[in-house]
């Protein structure tokens, strides 16, 4: 079971092999663009440390497959999210595919109970 981490602006949901595996909160600080920058930084650091692109892709896939069956903490979820965003950047995952990719959702708003909508001073028609 995946734990949902929702921010005040919504969340990013990650799917691999038709399975919902991770989620990241969206808020003023952690935006979609900031997550993209973090995943780009992971790729650049890998290249600077001497790995080639195929080795980086392999490591990212390994990280995802090792963690996709466990209940993830927020840090683990961030790690998996960065790995998936990195693979999207490296054109290994299509973000809009049917069986893998991402889904960005807005904040969940609970519906009010119908009795809460009735005003305290109803207008009486004559």
CA nearest 80: which of 95, 93, 65?
65
- Mean pLDDT of all residues in the chain? 82
User: What does the pLDDT read at residue 112?
Assistant: 64
Is residue 30 in a domain?
Answer: yes
Residue 109 has what pLDDT? Answer: 66
* pTM value > 0.95: no
Task: Report long-range pairs for 26-33 (Cβ below 8 Å, ≥24 apart).
Answer: 26/104, 32/104
pLDDT one-digit tens code per residue, 58-87: 999 988 888 777 777 888 888 888 999 999
Indicate whether 28 belongs to any domain. Answer: yes
Domain-embedded: residue 24: yes
What confidence tens digit (pLDDT) does each residue in 81-118 have? 899 999 999 998 888 888 888 888 887 766 666 665 55
Q: Which domain holds residue 35?
A: 10-108
- 16: closest CA among 108, 88, 100, 76? 100
- Kindly tell me if the per-residue pLDDT of 6 is higher than 90: no
Q: Is residue 126 part of a domain?
A: no
Q: How many domains does the chain have?
A: 1
Q: Which segment of 4-13, 18-27, 109-118 scores lowest on mean pLDDT?
A: 109-118
124, part of any domain? no
Does any domain span residue 31? yes
Per-residue burial over 54-81, b = 16 or more CB atoms within 10 Å of its CB, e = otherwise: eebbeebbebbeebbeeebeeeebbbbb
């Amino acid at each position: 079971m995946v734990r949902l981490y929702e921010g005040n602006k919504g969340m990013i949901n990650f799917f691999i092999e038709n399975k919902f595996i991770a989620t990241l909160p969206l808020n003023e600080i952690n935006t979609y663009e900031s997550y993209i920058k973090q995943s780009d930084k992971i790729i650049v650091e890998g290249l600077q440390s001497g790995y080639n692109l195929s080795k980086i892709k392999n490591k990212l896939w390994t990280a995802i497959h090792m963690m996709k069956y466990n209940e993830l903490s927020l840090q683990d979820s961030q790690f998996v999210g960065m790995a998936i965003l990195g693979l999207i950047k490296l054109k290994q995952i299509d973000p809009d595919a049917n069986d893998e990719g991402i889904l960005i959702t807005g904040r969940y708003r609970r519906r009010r109970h119908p009795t809460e909508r009735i005003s305290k001073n109803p207008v009486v028609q004559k």
